[in-house]
Amino acid sequence: MKIFAERILLADGWKSKQTLTVENGIIKAITCGKEINAECVGTVIPGMVNCHSHAFQRAFAGFSEQGSEGQDSFWTWRNVMYQFLATLTPEDAKIIATQLYIEMLKSGYTRVAEFHYLHHDIDGSHYESLATMAEAIFAASEQSGIGLTLLPVLYQYSGFGQLSPNDGQKRFINHIDTFNTLVSDCYQLTQKFSNTNIGIAPHSLRAVDKASLNSAVEHVRSLDSKAPIHIHIAEQQKEVDDCLTHYHQRPVQWLLNNCKLDQHWCLIHATHINAQECSDIIVSKAIAGICPTTEANLGDGVFPTTEFLAEGGTVAIGSDSHISVNPVEELRWLEYAQRLVKQQRALLATSQQPSVGQYLWTHTAKYGAQSTNSNTGELAVGKQADLIVLDESKLAMFAAKDKHVLDSLIFATQNNVIKDVMVNGKWCILDGQHPFEQEANEAFTELLNRVS
């Protein structure tokens, strides 16, 4: 396959009139000018990686916005979530994930890291196959076409001090030996489903113990030495306070002192960190996974993105609870939160790349790919052909020179300007449509009517 782009954002910057040769999902060559039989497109940018997703939560977006006289918080939201997931079957999980992943593709995500903790049957008993729920997620990724990094979640306790799980958590809980077996089973599924890989996700320091955490890391790294490891780490101030009470250390501080982090670790919601933790994360080369719309929706707080990036830190973005499924909105609010805190403008850029939009898109795509150990995130020879074609007629309504394209995309557009999406060398979205979109919408609507 050959694709001719009038202009394209390559790993080394904008280029005009380039032909990409794609074989077996990989960009084999990039040449100047239009080659014979090349398919013509307009403006091309790399696909975005979603570093943090809980697929089932897409189905209760909007169900948890009822106020409670100023007493609502992350913790009350969590109770609503527990009630919702209590009835979901494997087929329900597939329906929700398929709908979600199609929405992701249409908005520009080409790969997702699925932080998957809905493991067991409704009563908490194990399915005959430990990976039954996981296989539903794999099947959804296959039907939608999105790339998948599955992160089975290790969840053992309800709080620091190895507190017994509550009833709402019964579908999540695994002993470490069972969990490692589940990870092995999921690893086998990656041989069956293309464009997939696995890592693990110790849920949080409050939900796992040190010995099990180390065992899980050792096991998954025996399967894949670069397997991604993601963890919720400091989302809420209460979590930090409880960790200080139990471990006499802050969560990030404890993690850095007790685990060997590397560039394939991703610290999700490292929201409440101090200056020393900020510097130490950077030294460890771990990536900060930021989910601006969910963190705003849950009232989590604001990650110190300006300082973190200025010191050489790396970040990726995720849609988490899917109150929004739109990388443009995530990046817009990543910058806007800093503007509100600092009372300044255009903060997340560099002297080398003064365009905030271009810096944020290229940085988070690249490090999102690193957080998933996937050969994506940039358009270059040898990289997977995960790319987005923008709608020229819609772009024309905004500043559209190369240096302004991604600023316009992120800060000026209100409607989706993504026309076509390719994943692993295959078109998943053409003219803004997915071939299974109507079927997925109907199944999802029926599910919502049943569970609401």
272: burial class by Cβ within 10 Å (0-12, 13-18, 19+)? buried
The conformation of residue 57, written as its DSSP 8-state character, comes to G
DSSP per-residue codes, 267-289: EET--S--HHHHHHHHHHTPEEE
DSSP per-residue codes, 176-225: HHHHHHHHHHHHHHHHHSTTEEE-BEE--TTTS-HHHHHHHHHHHHHH-T
Q: Is the dihedral of CA 421, 426, 428, 430 positive or negative?
A: positive
- What are the residue numbers of the active site? 269, 320
357 and 395 Cβ atoms separated by less than 8 Å: no
Go through 408-437 and write b for each residue having 16 or more CB atoms within 10 A of its CB, e for each that does not. bbbbebeeebbbbbbbbbeebbeeeebebb
Torsion from C-alpha of 328, 101, 203, 76, nearest 10 degrees: 70
**Residue 259 backbone dihedrals phi, psi, to 5 degrees:** -135, 150
With a CB cutoff of 8 Å and minimum separation 6, the contacts of 198 are 149, 150, 151, 152, 183, 186, 187, 190, 220, 223, 224, 227
Local structure of 148: helix, strand or coil: strand
137 and 151 Cβ atoms separated by less than 8 Å: no
Instruction: Please name which of 290, 371, 394 lies closest in space to residue 332, comparing C-alpha atoms.
Output: 290
The conformation of residue 60, written as its DSSP 8-state character, comes to G
